[in-house]
Amino acid sequence: MDMKQRLIRAMRDLVQRRGYSAVSYADVAERVKLRKASIHHHFPAKADLAAAVARAYREEIDAPLRAAEENGASPARIIEVYLEGFAACAAEGERVCLIGALAADQLNLEGAVQDEVRTFFAAHQDILTRTIRRGQESGAFRRDLPAENLARLFSSTCQGALLVGRATSGDTPFAAIAATLKAVLAAR
């Protein structure tokens, strides 16, 4: 793994555990055993590193969703893939979704990082809305609520579940929340 990738990985882990505002270049430098000044060679500012981290995370999280959609997976399977990403994050305990952690610091983020956060949420809203709409059209998902609202419910609940799970030491397992979301979505 090259130094840029090591820096991205270290920053990602720190932000997921502590939040953006609580992470400094000194923290990242300590993690990768590099002088703080050397990080500036790869990423001139913290915002440059954070934007690269958010972009890499978005690509990683979106890849299985895009693949499922492109391979013609059923709407139910695409929803499963979406939930699996959050379940994996929940299983790590102290971590939350990187984009959720960044969103919590939205007012402290520089423009490029804010753009990455918005892009992540917009992309997820789009794929969830398309998926839910397809499920509604096939009769697999409930039709009495707009697909856009159900998509927002899914996204918001998953993000919130990770934050609350961390604050409550996982009192409610993510699997129970995912099962409830799927039940809300199911055709009646």
- Say how many domains are in the chain: 1
Residue 2 lies in a domain: no
Distances in Å between the alpha carbon of 63 and those of 11, 52, 140, 176, 180?
A: 21, 16, 24, 25, 25
Three-state secondary structure call for residue 153: helix
150 falls within a domain? yes
Q: Give the mean pLDDT of the chain.
A: 93
Residue 121 is assigned to a structural domain of this protein: yes
Instruction: Please indicate, yes or no, if residue 166 is contained in any of the structural domains.
Output: yes
Domain that holds residue 95: 54-185
The verdict on residue 7 lying in a domain is no
CATH number, domain with residue 170: 1.10.357.10
Q: State pTM to two decimals.
A: 0.90
Q: Is residue 115 within 8 Å of residue 52, measured between CB atoms?
A: no
The pLDDT tens digits of the residues spanning 139-174 come to 999 999 999 999 999 999 999 999 888 888 767 789
Q: Is residue 156 part of a domain?
A: yes
